[in-house]
């Protein structure tokens, strides 16, 4: 079913009785041409682009629970393409360009809002680092503007500019960055993929792989065996566990990242703001709640809930730039499992097992990558080789030394 | 989550700094590149019992080997890494 102005009017007149589900809740077939494991944003986007760009329509996306119940539905919804390293920047910018046309493409309102992402800087040295990153972005044809203090004051006059420890000196602004409605991204890709014939199979957990002669044959699931010559993993925080079923040991640790929502207030933060002297990022939802987060908890976790020291740290960081929120009450807090890679950058590649492909290592930043990741992964699966855009996001880069370490933090996942 | 430091007693985990898996054996200097790749980058990342290194930075500053369940954060033991 399609969504349009006409369908809205029609349903308004019919008492909203004619809407049908946005996608079919398909039962698994015994065999497909390709299977994507994981019904988060990345898996659904992969299914969509496999069908749309590569004409593969006899395919399925298998989700162990309900679609979008993982990180897709838990993140702070920030989208941007402000990376330093070419190997990352071209993929995130591809993603940004796909966001810009996504809703028309999917016929679904994902509430993409290019409200601008502003990274605050607090010292001369930090300004230099941001200028360098802004220049790197512009060399890739991506928009970036370095604002001085006056420029930031025009946008956010109520920030704590004269904070004694972390005075605000300016910021790096990507105007095309912003937010998108996370659930609607999952639903939109599901809707788009379903319309092209992709089976979206929920409550179907992959519990094993059949591999023979070094090539994957199919997957064991809680709903029976399903054969496919090509299988792509897009299971985010569960990557190590699922890959271990195929005998793979990966450069990944699972960590918990928390998010917070305050009570609703009148419009205050009309873009996305980040604190440069700690880790804090905030935007305001259309309902008025401030949506914010900070660092991961910092130790391996599969608990999907956060710890108190990080709650305190996030609140303190927020107070350092916007003391005005001191009296706001926090309504909700939750955690999600992020797949922290050893260099802080993602992996979209083949694996040593023929027909088995890997999409992982998204760390904090995988939501913004959703369309680009799906697009690149679909290409990699369909053509059996990476596209130029994901050609640096290789699994073997840790062995060859071509790591993509934006922060220069070394092989310590909790520092990226 | 609280960690029972063998020297200082049970303390909140914010007194400690986390490094990662403890059960990694450093290869010999002339070991093949694959052994180093595995040591530096590859991790079991289990959902369940994990043996890991924490430093009690805001206490005795000793490195500890902590056995913890990564699904529940239940801490089973903490011993001095050097003893
Ligand atoms: C609190 C928080 C805030 C974040 N904020 C941002 C942000 O502001 N901007 C940004 O860009 N990124 C952000 N991220 C990161 C981003 O959400 C993730 O990197 C991204 O969503 C991961 O890809 P995904 O959507 O496919 O993952 P998920 O939605 O987690 O999808 C993986 C799916 O795989 C399924 N699965 C697992 N095992 C199996 C199995 N054996 N069989 C079948 N299915 C299985 C899971 O149930 C899950 O649905 C945030 C993450 C968190 C947790
Ligand atoms: Zn101690």
Has residue A211 got a pLDDT over 70? Answer: yes
pLDDT at A221: 98
End-to-end CA distance of chain B: give it in Å, rounded: 24
- State percent of chain A over pLDDT 70: 100
> Is the predicted pLDDT of residue A1 greater than 70, yes or no?
no
Yes or no: say if A179 and A269 are a contact pair by the CB < 8 Å rule: no
Q: How far apart are CA A315 and CA A318, in angstroms?
A: 5
Looking at the partner chain, which of B13, B40, B43 has a beta carbon nearest the beta carbon of A253? B43
pLDDT of residue B83: 80
pLDDT at A384: 98
Q: What is the C-alpha to C-alpha distance for residues A134 and A274, in angstroms, rounded to an integer?
A: 15
Q: What's the mean per-residue pLDDT of chain A?
A: 97
The whole-model pTM stands at 0.97
Residue B39's closest chain A neighbor by CA? A251
**ipTM at complex level:** 0.96
CB B58 within 8 A of CB B8: no
**Predicted confidence band at A142 (pLDDT cuts at 50, 70, 90)?**
very high
- Other beta carbons within 10 angstroms of residue B8's beta carbon come to 14
Decide if A216 contacts B11 (C-beta within 8 A). Answer: no
A141 conformational bin, left if phi > 0, alpha if psi -120 to 50, beta if neither: left
* Residue A2: pLDDT band with limits 50, 70, 90: confident
Question: What mean pLDDT is predicted for residues B10-25?
Answer: 95
Q: What pLDDT is stored for residue B34 in this prediction?
A: 96
B38 in contact with chain A, both atoms CB, cutoff 8 A: yes
- Domains along chain B with CATH numbers: 2-80 (3.30.2270.10)
Distance A21 CA to ligand 1 centre (A): 23
Residue A175 contacts by C-beta under 8 Å, 6 or more apart in sequence? A114, A116, A143, A145
How many beta-carbon pairs under 8 angstroms link A with B? 68
Query: Quick one: pLDDT band at residue B11, thresholds 50, 70, 90?
Result: very high
Give pLDDT tens digits for A212-271.
999 999 999 999 999 999 999 999 999 999 999 999 999 999 999 999 999 999 999 999
Using the beta-carbon criterion (under 8 Å), do B40 and A414 form an inter-chain contact?
A: no
- Residue-wise DSSP of A27-68: PPPSB-SEEEE--SHHHHHHHHHHHHHH---SEEEE-SSSTT
Token digits of residue A23: 């996608």
Mean pLDDT, residues B28-51 = 97
Q: Does B73 touch chain A (CB under 8 A)?
A: yes
Using CB atoms, which residue from A241, A251, A307 is nearest to B1?
A307
pLDDT, tens digit (0-9, with 9 covering 90-100), for A79-111: 999 999 999 999 999 999 999 999 999 999 999
CA atoms within 13 A on the CB side of A383: 14
């Amino acid at each position: 079913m399609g969504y349009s102005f006409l369908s809205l009017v029609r349903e308004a007149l019919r008492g909203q009785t004619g809407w049908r589900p946005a996608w079919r809740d398909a039962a698994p077939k015994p065999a497909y041409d390709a299977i994507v494991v994981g019904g988060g944003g990345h898996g659904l986007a992969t299914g969509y682009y496999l069908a749309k760009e590569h004409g593969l329509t006899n395919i399925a996306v298998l989700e162990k629970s309900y679609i979008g119940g993982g990180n897709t539905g838990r993140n702070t919804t920030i989208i941007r393409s402000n990376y330093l390293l070419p190997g990352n920047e071209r993929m995130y910018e591809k993603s940004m360009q796909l966001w810009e046309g996504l809703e028309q493409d999917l016929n679904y309102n994902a509430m993409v809002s290019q409200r601008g992402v502003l990274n605050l800087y607090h010292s001369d040295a930090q300004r230099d680092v941001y200028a360098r990153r802004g220049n790197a972005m512009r060399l890739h044809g991506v928009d970036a503007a370095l604002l001085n203090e006056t420029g930031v004051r025009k946008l956010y006059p109520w920030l704590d500019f004269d904070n004694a420890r972390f005075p605000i000196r300016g910021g790096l602004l990507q105007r095309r960055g912003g937010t998108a409605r996370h659930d609607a991204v999952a639903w939109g890709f599901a809707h788009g993929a379903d319309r092209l014939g992709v089976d979206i199979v929920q409550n179907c957990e992959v519990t094993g792989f059949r591999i023979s002669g070094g090539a994957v044959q199919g997957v064991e699931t809680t709903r029976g065996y399903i054969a496919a010559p090509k299988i792509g993993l897009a299971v985010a925080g569960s990557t190590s566990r699922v890959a271990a079923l195929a005998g793979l040991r990966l450069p990944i640790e699972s960590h918990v990242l928390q998010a917070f929502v305050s009570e609703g207030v009148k419009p205050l933060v009309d873009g996305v703001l980040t604190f440069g002297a700690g880790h804090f990022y905030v935007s305001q939802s259309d309902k008025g709640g401030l949506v914010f987060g900070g660092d991961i908890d910092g130790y391996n976790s599969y608990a999907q809930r956060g710890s108190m020291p990080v709650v305190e740290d996030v609140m303190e960081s927020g107070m350092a730039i916007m003391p005005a929120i001191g009296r706001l009450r926090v309504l909700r807090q939750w955690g999600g499992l992020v797949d922290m890679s050893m260099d802080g950058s993602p992996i979209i590649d083949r694996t040593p097992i023929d027909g088995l492909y890997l999409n992982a290592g998204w760390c904090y930043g995988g939501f913004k990558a959703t369309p680009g990741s799906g697009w690149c992964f679909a290409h990699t699966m369909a053509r059996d080789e990476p596209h130029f855009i994901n050609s640096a996001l290789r699994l073997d880069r840790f062995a060859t030394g071509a790591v993509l370490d934006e922060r220069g933090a070394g092989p310590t996942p909790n520092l990226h | 989550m609280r960690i029972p430091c063998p020297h200082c007693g049970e303390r909140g985990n914010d007194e400690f700094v986390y490094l990662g898996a403890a059960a990694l054996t450093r290869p010999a200097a002339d070991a093949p590149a694959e052994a180093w790749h595995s040591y530096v980058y590859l991790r079991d990342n289990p959902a369940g019992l994990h043996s890991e290194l924490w430093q009690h930075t805001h206490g005795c500053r000793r490195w500890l080997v902590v056995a913890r369940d990564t699904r529940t954060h239940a801490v089973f033991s903490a011993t001095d890494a050097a003893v």
